[in-house]
Chains A and B, each alone.
Chain A
Amino acid sequence: MRHAVREDRDALVVTLEGDVDLENSPQAREVLLESVGRGRKVLVDLAGVTYIDSSGVASLVEALQAARKRGAGFALVCVGSAALRVLKLARLDKVFTIHETLADGLDART
């Protein structure tokens, strides 16, 4: 799994690429929590995610909860059909804020 973090307007964009699975989810968790800890709105770009499992979803949930505790925005963008299916199975598609594009996420107020 590869990751990148960059600033874009008032947000931090965390890009995850590859498989977010049991082997890689600790890395994803660390990146996501560190990004949330910086106090800005975090947009997680999942366009390049080829596979995500329950451990990857758990990393996203943990980061979302950390963001909510800080009162910071946290959203998923560019969620592919496979990742969306996993989120729907977990009934998390209505828990996360999901934007179709990065631009939508950047334009959103939270």
Chain B
Amino acid sequence: MGSARAARLLELRFPARADQLCDVRDAVRECVTANGAGAECAGDIVMAVDEACQNIIRHGYAGEPEGGIELEIDRRGDDLVFSLRDFAPKIDPACVKPRELDDVRPGGLGTHFIRAVMDEAEFVETATERGNLFRMVKRVR
């Protein structure tokens, strides 16, 4: 995670269900606001985390309603690092791409939003047979 020491700011584990996301958004907003994010930045971060959770719920766990999501927020210098871990089947990161916005249609916007507002967003290789780790970074100062 780089040379700066990381400080753990938040750990959450919650079921991969849509009704959990309101509380997750509130917790993320409170955490990032207390750690240097201004109002618009906090809003962007909340949206990116929400969209990443949606992707896990809709695509990662599709048909598996009992799956869980683990969210960790760490501070590393001026960066806030967001790690989202799920236990769904491994996905091929090459298949997760933002779509062309010139094509006006519902759906497919979540990945675009994430990449538009976060400084880094990528899947991290893990040794486990199942599960995915998605990491996002936002510089707040």
Residues on A facing B (Cβ under 8 Å): 19, 21-23, 51, 53-55, 57-59, 61-62, 65, 82, 85-86, 89-92, 95
Contact = CB atoms under 8 A, between A and B. Distances in A.
B9 interface: no
Nearest to A19: B22
Contacts of A57: 106, 109
Interface of chain B: mostly helix, strand, loop or mixed: helix
Contacts, number: 62
A58 B104 contact: no
B117 interface: yes
Interface residues of B, number: 28
A90 B21 contact: no
A54 B104 contact: no
Nearest to A91: B101
A86 B108 CA distance: 14
A53 B47 contact: yes
A91 B103 CA distance: 10
Contacts of B107: 54, 58
B113 A23 contact: no
Contacts of A92: 104
